[in-house]
Copies of this chain bind each other. A is one copy, B any other.
Amino acid sequence: MTQFVALPPGLSAAEFERALGELRGLLGTDRVVAVADRLRPYQKMMIPAPDEAHVPSGVVMAESVTEVQGILAICNRYRIPLWPTSTGRNFGYGTSSPATRGQLILDLRRMNRILEVDAELGTALVEPGVTYQQLHDYLSERDIPLWLDFPGPGPIVSPLGNTLERGGGNTPYGDHFAHACGMEVVLADGRVLRTGMGSIPNTTSWQVFKYGYGPYLDGIFTQSNFGVVTKLGLWLMPAPPGHRTVLVQFDAEAQLPAAVDTMRRLQLQRVITNVGVMATAVMALSTFKTRAELYDGPGPVPQPVIDAAARDSGIATWNMTFTLYGTPAQIAPNLAIVTEAFEAVGGRVNPDFHDGSQVNELSLASFGILNWVGGGGLAWFAPVSPARGSDAARQAKLARRILGAHGFDYLAAPTLNGRDLHHLIALVYNRNDADEKQRANRCFEQLVHEFAQHGYGLYRVGIDYMDKLAGIYGSVNRDVNRAIKQALDPNGILAPGKSGIHP
Contact = CB atoms under 8 A, between A and B. Distances in A.
Interface in A133-182: 166, 172, 177-178, 181
B484 A484 contact: yes
Contacts of A219: 211, 215-220
Interface in A439-460: 452-460
Interface in A208-224: 208-209, 211-224
Contacts of A40: none
A184 B388 CA distance: 24
A336 interface: yes
A273 B326 CA distance: 14
Interface stretch (A28-36, A74-82, A472-480): A472-480
Interface stretch (A194-202, A276-284, A303-311): A194-202
Contact of A222 (B201, B216, B332, B384): B216
A456 B387 CA distance: 40
Contact of A203 (B123, B205, B226, B455): B455
A327 B214 CA distance: 40
Contacts of A500: 214
A427 interface: no
Contacts of A121: 264, 386-388, 419
Contacts of A419: 121-123, 181, 207-209, 235
A213 B333 contact: no
A498 to B, nearest CB: 8
Nearest to A498: B214
Interface in A303-340: 325-327, 329-330, 332-334, 336-337
B386 A268 contact: no
A486 interface: yes
Contact of A215 (B192, B226, B337, B455): B226
A388 B265 CA distance: 34
A391 B121 CA distance: 12
Interface in A64-87: none
Contacts of A199: 473-474, 476-477
A237 B171 CA distance: 21
A488 B481 contact: no
A420 interface: yes
A215 B499 contact: yes
Contacts of A333: 326-327, 329-330, 332-333
Contacts of A457: 197, 200, 203, 205, 212-213
Contacts of A474: 194, 199-201
Contact of A268 (B191, B238, B337): B238
Interface string A242-279: 00000000000000000001001100111101000000
Contacts of A214: 223-224, 470, 473, 477, 481, 499-501
Contact of A391 (B204, B391, B480): B204
Nearest to A146: B268
A223 to B, nearest CB: 5
A369 interface: no
Interface string A92-112: 000000000000000000000
A43 interface: no
Contacts of A207: 419
Contacts of A212: 457, 459, 473, 477
B386 A205 contact: yes
A483 B488 contact: yes
A121 B391 CA distance: 12
A187 interface: yes
Contact of A385 (B178, B204, B221, B226): B204
Interface in A461-503: 461, 469-470, 472-474, 476-477, 479-481, 483-484, 486-488, 499-501
A192 B474 CA distance: 11
A387 B123 CA distance: 12
B484 A215 contact: yes
A213 B455 contact: no
Contacts of A461: 213
Interface of A: 120-123, 166, 172, 177-178, 181, 187, 191-195, 197, 199-205, 207-209, 211-224, 226, 235, 238, 240-241, 261, 264-265, 268-271, 273, 325-327, 329-330, 332-334, 336-337, 384-388, 391, 419-420, 452-461, 469-470, 472-474, 476-477, 479-481, 483-484, 486-488, 499-501
Q: Which 6 A-B pairs have the closest CB atoms?
A: A216-B219, A214-B499, A202-B455, A329-B333, A199-B474, A487-B487
